[in-house]
């Protein structure tokens, strides 16, 4: 897959769109032209960094740091911090992959997050929640980047529930199927098995 993407990067504007932060994405895929990070709260392109304006609101910054402290006290969970390139905390994920039920204290974390004005995203298919300082989503970020870069046709490839907003605003939506999203339904133009994605990209683009 990496070889295919590197080949495509010479002819197409490749953008990675993820709930991961830019530090992680740039280390794993340095050949992309632009990065939409932390579910769209940070965009890196053409040597510019665009940050969600929620970072200027002290009560939200305080709230996300307080929720991080609260979530870190929960047993049997992994708390992943989502930081901007300026080191600001944009959000976090709380995962409980190793246990078969929602962890003790999760309701308290969700209540504290929403009470602090943060956005909480719960998933029907995955054992984690995301908490962000803003309600922006991947669709908002794709629209912003398309306008900023004056892109033509946008082909969006995704495999999760949080990709649905981006599927709705792109020109061609591609859902990648694998064992972890068998129950996911989305209105897309193409469905491609993960094992065939590299071939599909080379044949279709």
* Boundaries of every domain in the chain: 2-52+137-204, 53-132
Structure-block tokens of residue 115? 């009470």
Alpha helices in the chain (DSSP H): 2-8, 22-28, 58-72, 106-115, 138-149, 164-169, 197-204
Taking only the tens place, the pLDDT of each residue in 49-58 is: 999 999 999 9
pLDDT digits (tens, 9 = 90+) for 23-71: 999 999 898 999 999 999 999 998 889 999 999 999 999 999 999 999 9
Q: Please name which of 144, 192, 139 lies closest in space to residue 161, comparing C-alpha atoms.
A: 139
Query: Could you count the other beta carbons within 10 Å of the beta carbon of residue 86?
Result: 10
State how far the Cα of 86 lies from the Cα of 96, in Å rounded to an integer.
28
pLDDT along the chain (205 residues), means of 10: 91 95 93 95 92 96 97 95 96 92 94 98 91 96 93 95 96 96 94 96 90
What CATH code would you report for 2-52+137-204? 3.40.50.1000
Residue 74 has a pLDDT of 94
What does the pLDDT read at residue 126? Answer: 86
Strands 172-177 and 155-158: parallel
- Correct CATH for 53-132 of 1.10.3210, 3.30.70, 3.90.1690, 3.30.720: 3.30.70
Average pLDDT for the chain: 94
């Amino acid at each position: 897959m990496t070889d295919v993407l590197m080949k495509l990067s010479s002819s197409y504007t490749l953008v990675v769109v993820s709930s991961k932060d830019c530090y992680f994405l740039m280390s794993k895929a340095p050949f992309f032209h632009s990065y939409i990070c932390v579910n769209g709260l940070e965009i890196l392109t053409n040597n510019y960094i665009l940050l969600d304006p929620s970072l200027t609101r002290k009560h939200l910054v305080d709230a996300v740091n307080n929720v991080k402290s609260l979530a870190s006290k929960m047993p049997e969970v992994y708390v992943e911090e989502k930081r901007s390139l300026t080191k600001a905390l944009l959000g976090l994920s709380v995962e409980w992959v190793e246990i078969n039920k929602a962890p003790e204290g999760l309701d308290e974390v969700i209540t504290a997050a929403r009470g602090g004005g943060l956005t909480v995203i719960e998933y029907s298919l995955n054992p984690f929640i995301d908490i962000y300082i803003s309600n922006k989503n991947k669709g908002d970020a794709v629209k912003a980047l398309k306008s900023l870069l004056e892109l033509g046709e946008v082909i969006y490839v995704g495999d999760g529930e949080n990709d649905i907003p981006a599927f709705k605003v792109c020109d061609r939506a591609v859902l990648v199927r694998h064992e972890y999203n068998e129950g996911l339904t989305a209105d897309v133009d193409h469905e491609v098995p993960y094992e065939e994605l590299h071939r599909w990209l080379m044949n279709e683009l």
